[in-house]
Structures are given as C-alpha cells and as structure tokens.
Amino acid sequence: MNGEAIASQTIIAAGKSSDLPEQGRLILDIGKRTIGLFRIDGDVFAYDNVCPHQGGPVCQGRIMPKVLENIDENHKAHGMRYDRNEMHIVCPWHGAEFIIKTGRHATIPEMSLAPIEVEETEGTIYVYV
C-alpha cells in the first residue's frame, strides 16, 4: 500500500475495485488500525473494525439482510423473513447489528460504527486515515 499525506489525513490505496464484490468485504490492517470495507448496492462503505458495544471486531462478523418477524394480529409469531434492501453486519462477539450503509446500530440509532472516508476512482478504492 502506498500513502500520500493530505492535511492531517493519509490516502491509502486499499485495493482494486474488483477485489470488493457486491455484498463483499475487505479487511485492511493499516498501522495499528484495522478497517473494514463493504460494497452494498455498488457503493463502498468503510468503518473502523471496532464495535462500539464492547470493542469486538465488528467488520469481521456476518453480513446478512435485516431480519423481520412475521407477526399476526394476535401477536403470534409465524417465522422470519429477510429484507435484502437493508444489509447488516453482525458483531461476532455479542451479536450487535449495524446497518452497513449508515453504520448505525439497527435498534439503537445513537450507537454507530466509526466511519472512514472512502473513494473509488478508476478501478481503485482509497481510504483516508
């Protein structure tokens, strides 16, 4: 990886665009920092690999669609269905779920992943750290 300092940030070439498939992830170690990159609906999102709940490696968790419970008018559950329009990352330590497009916790909006500025240009993904 090569870096170029701009103001207080360094631009890092994280990889080729083709290295990050749709609904895929890349995990990068940059110095003492680990960053997770995700591609959802063609866009790239990047976060520090630290869960705000208890510091777990959140970006290495399962990528899955939002889970919805089918509940009837009598409040009886009839199984689950998935909303593939909202993809989540699930922390492997305690199951905290975060919406990949926003970094926000799925049920506690004030809890969020730390975003990393990311740019995709001419077949290369860059992160600003």
Q: What is the mean pLDDT of the chain?
A: 92
pLDDT, position 2: 46
Q: Classify residue 124: in a domain, yes or no.
A: no
Q: Classify residue 40: in a domain, yes or no.
A: yes
Task: Look at the chain and report how many structural domains it folds into.
Answer: 1
Residue 92 has pLDDT above 90, yes or no: yes
Mean pLDDT of the region 73-96: 92
pTM of the full structure: 0.86
Q: Which CATH number does the domain housing residue 73 bear? A: 2.102.10.10
- Residues 46 and 113: their CA atoms lie apart, in Å, by 9
Q: Classify residue 7: in a domain, yes or no.
A: no
Q: Classify residue 2: in a domain, yes or no.
A: no
Structural domain span for residue 70? 12-116
- Among residues 19, 18, 22, the alpha carbon closest in space to that of 87 is found at 22
pLDDT digits (tens, 9 = 90+) for 19-73: 999 999 999 999 899 999 999 999 999 999 999 999 999 999 999 999 888 889 9
